[in-house]
Amino acid sequence: MINQPSGQIKLTNVSIVKLKKGKKKFEIACYQNKVHDFRKGIETDLDEVLQIHQVFINVSKGLVASKDDLASSFDSTDVDTIIKEILTRGEMPLSDKERQLMMNKINNEMLTIISAKCINPKSKKRYPPSMIHKALMELKFRVVINKPPKTQALEAIKVLTASQIIPIARARMRIKVDMDKIGNEEVIDKLSNLMKAAEANETETTWSCNALIDPVAYRVIVDLCNGKGMLQVLDLAVIDSK
């Protein structure tokens, strides 16, 4: 049976962190909020994090991992070292409330990113996150808990721009490129084809251009400038202020 510290009445704050190593699974019994603190570097005292200072094969059955199990899986029998690895890399089930809070946080961050990166191509204005959320709901786009908000935002942008359930497009980026003309004529020609509303300044030997680009062209432009010129991002999302 898992002992609780004095003053702790319910096991509402206890969580089992699990890690699979090779063919074996290992578990430790922890306080959920303290696991978060440990992973953030706030808490370093293992005794404050752990219910029991042991590594288990199965916490609920009280099956403690043997030294042979630890040695074969972790190449170590140092319990603290193994516990730290499990705490850092292990999986911890979330409560329904925590899962919902995390889903809400990821969803809000994703919507904020989409709002910042996209515009209504007719009005040249950003959409509020609430309108983007409504459009994604209609498209049955589902947020997942195990992907970063930025990754999901980019996926959602593809779905939105493909469906045009609302008129939407990626906002253009503003960049500046400085490059020597000599020997780079072909590169400059390729860059010019990718740059819109360009303001170019040239001398006999140099070429400088301030322009708008489609974000999907950014990686191509980076490759073209690599080792040949200097690229600056002036604005990640250009929005008409009128």
Going residue by residue through the chain (242 aa), what tens digit of pLDDT does each one get? 444 443 333 344 568 899 998 889 999 999 877 888 898 899 999 999 999 899 999 888 889 999 998 999 998 889 999 999 999 999 887 777 878 888 999 999 999 999 988 999 888 888 999 999 999 999 999 998 878 999 999 999 999 999 999 999 988 889 999 999 999 999 999 999 999 888 889 898 999 999 999 888 899 999 999 989 999 999 887 765 44
Is residue 21 in a domain?
A: yes
At residue 16, what is the residue type?
I
What is the CATH number for 231? 3.30.70.240
The whole-angstrom separation of Cα 183 and Cα 185 is 6
Which residue, among 114, 146, 144, 142, has the nearest Cα to 130 in the 3D structure?
114
26, 86 in Cβ contact below 8 A? yes
Among 89, 124, 145, the domain-final residue is: 89
DSSP per-residue string spanning 139-176 = TT----TTS-HHHHHHHHHHHHHHH-SS--EEPPEEEE
Is residue 4 in a domain?
A: no
2, 29 in Cβ contact below 8 A? yes
Which residue, among 36, 29, 37, 15, has the nearest Cα to 83 in the 3D structure?
29
The whole-angstrom separation of Cα 204 and Cα 167 is 44
Q: What is the pLDDT of residue 239?
A: 67
The whole-angstrom separation of Cα 56 and Cα 122 is 61
What is the CATH number for 132? 1.10.10.900
Domain count, the chain: 3
Same structural domain for residues 154 and 181?
A: no
The whole-angstrom separation of Cα 227 and Cα 26 is 49
Same structural domain for residues 71 and 104?
A: no
- Helix ranges, 50-184 (H): 67-74, 79-89, 96-117, 129-138, 149-163
Among 38, 70, 89, the domain-final residue is: 89
Q: Which residues pair with 223 in a beta bridge?
A: none
Structure tokens at 91: 């999986």
Domain of 68 in residue numbering reads as 14-89
Same structural domain for residues 67 and 117?
A: no
Structure tokens at 83: 């516990």
Which residue, among 144, 133, 159, 132, has the nearest Cα to 106 in the 3D structure?
144
Among 122, 149, 170, the domain-final residue is: 170
Helix, strand, coil shares of the chain, percent, nearest 5, are 40, 25, 35
Same structural domain for residues 102 and 71?
A: no
49, 43 in Cβ contact below 8 A? yes
Enter the DSSP assignment of 20.
E
Is residue 3 in a domain?
A: no
Strands 196-202 and 206-213: antiparallel
What is the CATH number for 24? 3.30.1250.10
